[in-house]
Amino acid sequence: MHSNFVEMPTRRDVVKGSGAVLGSTVLAGCASDTSDPPQTEPPQTTGTDRTTTAQSLSAALQPVGEIELDSVPEHIFTDLTHHAGMALAVGRANAVNATWGGDAATQMWNSYLERLDGVSVEWSDLPNSFNPDKELLYELDSDLHLADPAYMTWMDSLTRSDITEIEENVATWFGNTFSNTHGTPPEGWADAYEYYTLWGIFEQVANLFGAGERYRALAEIHTSVLASIKQNRPSPDSRPTAVTFKVVDESLWAYPLNAPGFTYAHTRPLEAREAFPDLSSSRQIDYEILLETDPDVILVAEMMGQEGIEDIRTMFEENPVSQQVSAVTNGRVYAGGVRNQGPIINLFQLEMTAKQLYPDAFGEWPTYTGGPYPDIPDSEQLFDREQVANIINGDF
């Protein structure tokens, strides 16, 4: 069935050196998603980002290993939100040729980007990258698959041999997804797998695009946001109990706040008290257990830009059990945002979660019913929107 694709000309000239999916070079780095982004020596360049030296276009990230590109990729396949967000952050949103989520994801993206002048994405018409087949990958003819090959085989349509074939005939893979919850990769990948922070992955992606200066500029803002949170959050005994829920047909799936992995990169730094302290991964919770636990704050894993948070609030308010929960009676059921977040969304969601959990310290979070990320007064912003927009646009 695929024989006509196997004979296509190789694009391995784009990738030099040890770019193998079977590569063994390990990036020394974090084993969990810690507070601060990793610190690195600056590359030997000056001024704005350089994209012409071999040094600026090499990077290392497991499970792929170390790769080196001859030029900045012009056509980029991405799998999940965090990888697409890294392409956006280094100013390459227009190079993305496939991503997750279609119209709904694009609406979500632009609801955050509404607050960054001159920054938006037009990804609605792109192929959905969830569970792609080989034909799509050949058709896209990408210069880089910004995707975790282990995650790609976790889905149904690609095998390990398919991953190798696509690397040899189209372009290399580069990405890491199971760092999101420190989950176990599929069989055959565990020996070549490492867990990184969100910003550790972003650093390597930025290096591959010759965008080290952009990374460092954004990482400095990220560090500042974390420092502000650490300095101003209430003392531990004054923090509310909270839980993140994903609501599926009125069923409640609870997630931890402070577990390792970049899924929790916007809640863990706040160090709120876990409503379900023994929870290490998702678990279905019934309404009686919710009332018994009685969290002060409920964060709903709901995408920005959607109207669904109002429906979920109404559901809680109309249910005879959940309407008695403190978070519901006190109006503290919030849209908790995106779990597989990229670096730009992470900045917004750190600010958002700080306000939702600790309004006395960081300012009230406006009642959100859908649409763009709220327009926060300048004095209550945890980061400068213009500065972030300028970095993305290369004006810094």
C-alpha closest to that of 100 among 128, 131, 142, 140: 128
Spatial distance between the Cα atoms of 112 and 67, rounded to a whole number of angstroms: 32
Q: Compute how many other C-beta atoms are within 10 angstroms of the C-beta atom of residue 352.
A: 26
Q: Is the peptide bond before 63 cis (omega within 30 degrees of 0)?
A: yes
Number of independent structural domains in the chain: 2
How confident is the model over 237-263, as pLDDT tens digits?
A: 999 999 999 998 889 999 999 999 999
Residue 227 lies in a domain: no
The reply to whether 77 and 165 lie within a common domain is yes
pLDDT of residue 31: 30
Segment 299-328 mean pLDDT = 89
The reply to whether 243 and 339 lie within a common domain is yes
| Poorest-pLDDT segment among 13-27, 149-163, 283-297 | 13-27
How confident is the model over 192-206, as pLDDT tens digits?
A: 899 999 999 999 999
* Residues sharing a CB contact under 8 Å with residue 391, sequence separation 6 or more, in sequence order: 89, 214, 217, 218, 221
Residue where a domain terminates, one of 222, 250, 268? 222
The reply to whether 378 and 256 lie within a common domain is yes
The reply to whether 298 and 165 lie within a common domain is no
| 22, pLDDT greater than 60 | no
Residue where a domain terminates, one of 164, 193, 222? 222
Spatial distance between the Cα atoms of 232 and 359, rounded to a whole number of angstroms: 11
Residue where a domain terminates, one of 167, 193, 222? 222
Q: Specify the CATH number for the domain of residue 217.
A: 3.40.50.1980
Indicate the average pLDDT of the chain.
86
Segment 164-171 mean pLDDT = 97
More confident residue, 222 or 42: 222
pLDDT of residue 54: 41
More confident residue, 202 or 301: 202
The reply to whether 27 and 101 lie within a common domain is yes
| H/E run at residue 389 | helix 385-392
For residue 382, give its domain range: 235-392
pLDDT of residue 163: 96
| 354, pLDDT greater than 70 | yes
CA dihedral 108, 248, 195, 211 (to 10 degrees): -10
Estimate the share of the chain in helix, then strand, then coil, as percent rounded to the nearest 5. 40, 10, 50
| 270, pLDDT greater than 50 | yes
Segment 262-277 mean pLDDT = 96
More confident residue, 27 or 86: 86
**β-pairing, 15-16 with 65-69?**
antiparallel
The reply to whether 196 and 170 lie within a common domain is yes
Spatial distance between the Cα atoms of 168 and 175, rounded to a whole number of angstroms: 17
The reply to whether 201 and 266 lie within a common domain is no
> Three-state DSSP class for 156?
coil
The reply to whether 216 and 245 lie within a common domain is no
* Residues sharing a CB contact under 8 Å with residue 315, sequence separation 6 or more, in sequence order: 247, 250, 322
How confident is the model over 307-317, as pLDDT tens digits?
A: 688 999 999 99
**Token duo for residue 199:** 């910003």
